Each structure stands twice: as C-alpha cells, then as structure tokens.
Structure 1
Amino acid sequence: MEVLTLVDRLGLIFGLIAIGFLLVKVKVVSGKDTKALADIVILVATPALMFTSIIGSCDVGPIADYSVMFVTGVFMPLLLVVIAYFAARIMKLGRPKLGVFLCANAFPNTVFIGLPVTVALYGSETVASVAVLDFAVTLVFWTIGLALLTDNFKWRGLGSLLNAVLNAPFVVLIISLLLALAEVKPPSLLLDMGEMIGQIAIPLSLLLIGMTMATFTRTSMEFDKSIGATLFLRHIVSPLIMLLVVYSLPIPILSKQVLVLQAGLPTMMGVSIVAQAYGKEHGYATSLVVASTIASLMTIPLVAYTLGILL
C-alpha cells in the first residue's frame, strides 16, 4: 500500500473517530445512546455487510484460508495468556488483578475496532476473514477468558457457551458461506437491501469508537506499571509474533496483513464489561482498555505501514 493511500485511509478512520468523540462531548448524543447504536451495528449493519460481501466475492479458494484464520484465532490468545502470565510473575502481579491482566493481553477488539479499521484499510473482501477470526477469539474468550476473569474454571455447560458465541454475525457468516459454496444467489432485492444497510456498518462503528472513548472518565481508571506492560505486549509483541507465524504460511498476502493487523489491536472491551458484571477490578480493566485503545491510534498506522513494506 502506498504511503499516500495509507495516510488518506487512516485520516478517514481517525476523522470519524474524532467526530464520534465530539458528538458526545458537545452533547449531541449521550453515552447511553451508544448502547442502541452498538446494537444496530452488531445485530443489523455488520451481518448485512458480511452477507453481501461474502455472497458477492466468496469462492471455494479463500474458504481454505478461513481455517487458518480460525486456528490462529484460537492459538494466539492462548499463547499470549502464557506470555502475559510470565510477565505478571516478573512484576509480582497477583490476584485479583492477574486474571484481568491476562485477558487484557490475550484478547483483541476484533469487532468494534478490528472490523472497521481492516475494511477501511484493505477493503470489504476482508469482512469474512475478520468474522471467522472474531468467532475463534470470542470462543476462547467466553471459555478460557471468562474462567480467568472470574477465577472459576468450572464448566458452565454447552448451553452457556452457545448463548455466548451464537450471535447474529456468526449465524449470518455460516449461512453466507454455505450459500456461497453452494453457488446459490439470493434475490437481488435482498442483496440490494443488505448492501444498503451494510454501508452504514463501518462509518457507524468508527463513530462508536469515538463515542465510547468519550464516555470514559479519569475517576473510573487506575494506572500502574502493568498498564505499560500490556501496551508493550498487546501492540508490539503480539503483532511481531503473528508476523513471524504468518510470514511463511501459504496464504494470500491480504490474509497475512489481516492477521498481523488484528494481532496488534487494543484490548477487547468485553474484558471491562465482564469484569464489571462479576465485580472483578472493573476500574483496572477499564484502564487497560482505555490505555490500549488510545495507544492503538499510534500503533495501528505503524503496523499498517510496516506491513506495506514487509509483505
């Protein structure tokens, strides 16, 4: 990707994030409005974008690459949990912060930040890859991640797991892939409607990132040396490991770029949400999410530029 093209696309991304931030600060919308907008993105716009993108561009060739996305989405969080654990031992970080620290380093924000940023940089043909990767990461988060956050490794049953991972984007992903493989083309009216709705997914997601950042308050956060360790592991170590893993893999360059970019994303916001729900160091979890999200404004351009040179 040429430097000017990269600058132009990053300018678009950060511009929309800034607008979302300002909309909350000048009280055009409130922090409570973000919940309804997030539901529209997750339950309506993103599934529509996935459906039209996959049906319009998917063939048997890239289906084989999705298995790499899935395996990587399972492998990387587990590896990062191990690396973060040794980092925590060095810092003598114990419970109850330990579980939050491990999850903050292991799980990237693959939907709210990963999807819009990846599509803005590399195009809508990356939607299916990001969706498969997100499903794998989500699967690990709601099993291993939840156990780490709650200090409870008791199996909660298949029903609990299915409720967590069988969401609208995943269901649409499976249906879309099956239709594409069977070479079944839905009615043009359905495709046109899906395309129109899907067009709002990326800009609205970027606006939501800014809105969400505007709702964080300093009083709800706390800072210590483990924050710096998380920034180093999440934004430097993780993408470097992924780059080494995918460099020699027989997959398209675009798939490699997606994997490395996703590896360097900020901490999943679900870490903060689950920590609050279970009363597990919510302020600390929020601090990790906010710090990594802010840091990503600098590291994402660096990763994207580096990928343009190396791959």
Structure 2
Amino acid sequence: MALSDVYNQLGILFLTMLVGYILGKIGLISKEATENFSKLIVKVAIPAIIISSMMLPLTPDRLETCLSMLLISIPCFLGSYLLGVLGAKLVCQGYGEKAIFKYGMTFPNGIFMGLPVIHAILGSEAIFYVAVFNIFGNILAYSLGIRIMSSNNAQKATFNLQSTLRLLLNPGIAACIIGIILFLGQITLPKFLFGTIDLIGSICIPLSMLTLGAMLSGLSWRGLFAKPSLYILTFCRLVVLPFLTYVLLTLTFGSDNLWLLAVPVVVAGMPIAVNAAMFAQEYGNDAVLASQSVFISTLLSCFTIPILAYVFI
C-alpha cells in the first residue's frame, strides 16, 4: 500500500477527529453530548456496523479465517498482558501507575477507533474480522480489566457471576453473536431491514471520530510530561506491540492471509482503550493518569498508524 493512499484515508479520519476536538473546545459538543454520543456509538452504531459487515457469503476460506482470528486473539491479548506486567515492574512506581500500565498494554482501542481506521485501510469486510478478534478482548476487559483497575482500591471489586455475565452480554458481543448466526446460517434479511441496519451503521465512523476528538478536548495537557512511564507505555502500545505481533504471526502463519496478519497488527497498534479512564474512576484507581495515557497515546497514534499501515501491511 502506497504511503500517500494510507495518509489520504487516515487523514480524513484524523481531520474529523480534529473537528470534534475543536467543537468540544468551543462548547458546541458538550460533555453531556459526548457521553450521549458515546452511548449511541457503543449501543447502536457499532452493533449495526458489525451486523451489516457480517452479511457476507459463507465460504470455506472465510470460515477458516474467522475461526483462526478468534484463536489468534487469545495469545495476542494474554501476551500483551504479560508484557504489561513485566513493563509495570520495570518502569512504574505505586499500584496506580502499575495498574494503568498493565491495562494500557492489554487493551487497545480496537473498536471505538479500530473500526474506523481498519475500515479506512482495508475496507468494510475487515470489520467482520475485527469484531471476531475483539470478542476475547471484550470478555477479558470485563474480567481481568476490572481486576487490574481495582488493584489500587482497598475494597477490591467483588466478582459476581450474574453481574459479570450481564456485563459481558453487551451490545457489541450481542451483535457479534447475531452476525455470526446470520453468517453461518446464510440468513438473508429483508432489504428494508438490512438497509436500516446498514444506514445506522454508516454513522459509526464519522460519529466515533468526532466523539473521540470531543473527548480529548476535555482532557488537560497539565502533567502530561511528568510521568516517563506514560511515554514508555505509549511507545510499547503503538510501536513495540504491533511489531512483535507482526513478527510472531509472520513466523507462525506466513504472509499469505492478509486478514490474519493485518487485523491483529493494526489492532495491536491502536491507542489505549478509552474505557481505561472510566474503569479507573469506577474502581478507585488513578483516573487522571488513565485519562492522560488515553490522550497521549491517541494523539501520537495519528503519526504512528499511517506508518504502521505502510510498513506492516
């Protein structure tokens, strides 16, 4: 892929994010609106685009790739967590800083930012594989992720099977299940129904980037340069993890299957998940540090993602 093509596609996304940042700064997109947009994206737009992207003809190659993607995601996420644990021991001080480092290494912004970016680079079919790849990550976020973020809290989060299952059965997972059923059963939806789902899903990409920009506008630049661990975390998240993912997958599967190589590598190179700050706030960890990690990794990803796509894909 030519670097100019990558920049053209991703430039549209990042410029849209910049518009969201400006609109947030001038108050046209308020904090309340940002929160409502986030809910709309997570509960409606993302499920819609996942379902519409899974309405594909069933072929042996697609089925094999789908199963392989699900299996690949397990060592990818667990390996990232182990690197996070190692890195936290080496460069972080205090439980809060270590928790943010581990969480940031384990959980990329694979859906909220990953879907628009991968759609821009690889096209609409890639969304199908991204959704499958993130199933295990979603499950891990609401189990291991909560445990990581509660490590700074004297009253550690208690895990109730019923409440945990309720968290796991979120709209994104539900959409994946519905999409896989439609895909495996080759069920054709009525045109008006598919058209509605497809239309709603089409708002996901622009609204995600506008909302992400507005979110960043509410974060403070103050203290960004005070923690060296933030920059080490960002470098590992945006550069080291996609490089290691690329090397390991190339050695394991070769470079014949574009999806099995490109999707995990691009997801690995996404910035830190935006829910890091939300989880830190909810479970008594350092929400300010978590917000700063999201801010700086998202900002620098504007430069690393185009290079990542050019070099590794």
Q: 1:109–1:268: 8 Å Cα contact kept in structure 2?
A: yes
Deviation string, structure 1 residues 124-161 (Cα, Å, up to 9, x no partner): 10111111222211111211121121128876132222
Give 2:42's aligned residue.
Answer: 42
The alpha-carbon distance between structure 1 residues 94 and 120, as it changes in their structure 2 partners (threshold 3 A), is same
Matched AA of 1:306: V
Compute the displacement of 1:259 (Å): 1.0
Q: 1:173 aligns with which of 164, 176, 184?
A: 176
Q: 1:249 aligns with which of 247, 250, 253?
A: 253
Matched AA of 1:17: M
Give 2:231's aligned residue.
Answer: 228
Q: 2:157–2:283: 8 Å Cα contact kept in structure 1?
A: no
* Identity across the alignment (%): 26
Q: Secondary structure at the match of 1:234?
A: helix
Query: How far apart are the structure 2 equivalents of 1:217 and 1:58?
Result: 48
Give 1:159's aligned residue.
Answer: 162
Query: Aligned pair 1:238/2:241, yes or no?
Result: yes
Query: Aligned pair 1:196/2:187, yes or no?
Result: no
Number of equivalences: 308
Q: Secondary structure at the match of 1:218?
A: coil
Deviation string, structure 1 residues 277-297 (Cα, Å, up to 9, x no partner): 122111111121111111111
Give 2:268's aligned residue.
Answer: 263
Compute the displacement of 1:91 (Å): 2.7
Deviation string, structure 1 residues 81-109 (Cα, Å, up to 9, x no partner): 22222223223523232222211111101
Compute the displacement of 1:13 (Å): 1.1
Query: How far apart are the structure 1 equivalents of 2:253 and 2:10?
Result: 28
Unaligned runs of 5+ in 1: none
The alpha-carbon distance between structure 1 residues 59 and 46, as it changes in their structure 2 partners (threshold 3 A), is farther
Query: How far apart are the structure 2 equivalents of 1:282 and 1:155?
Result: 20
The alpha-carbon distance between structure 1 residues 207 and 58, as it changes in their structure 2 partners (threshold 3 A), is farther
Compute the displacement of 1:58 (Å): 5.0
Moved more, 89-98 or 135-144: 89-98
Instruction: Give structure 1 regions of 4+ aligned residues with deviation exceeding 6 angstroms.
Output: 152-155
Q: Secondary structure at the match of 1:159?
A: helix
Moved more, 161-170 or 122-131: 161-170
CA root-mean-square deviation: 2.1
Give 1:11's aligned residue.
Answer: 11
Query: How far apart are the structure 2 equivalents of 1:93 and 1:77?
Result: 24
Query: Aligned pair 1:183/2:174, yes or no?
Result: no
Give the TM-score, by structure 2 length. Answer: 0.91
Query: How far apart are the structure 1 equivalents of 2:208 and 2:219?
Result: 17
Compute the displacement of 1:9 (Å): 0.3
Q: 2:20–2:214: 8 Å Cα contact kept in structure 1?
A: yes
Q: 1:109–1:267: 8 Å Cα contact kept in structure 2?
A: yes
Q: 1:142–1:164: 8 Å Cα contact kept in structure 2?
A: yes
Query: Aligned pair 1:279/2:245, yes or no?
Result: no
Q: 2:146–2:283: 8 Å Cα contact kept in structure 1?
A: no
Query: How far apart are the structure 2 equivalents of 1:75 and 1:5?
Result: 31
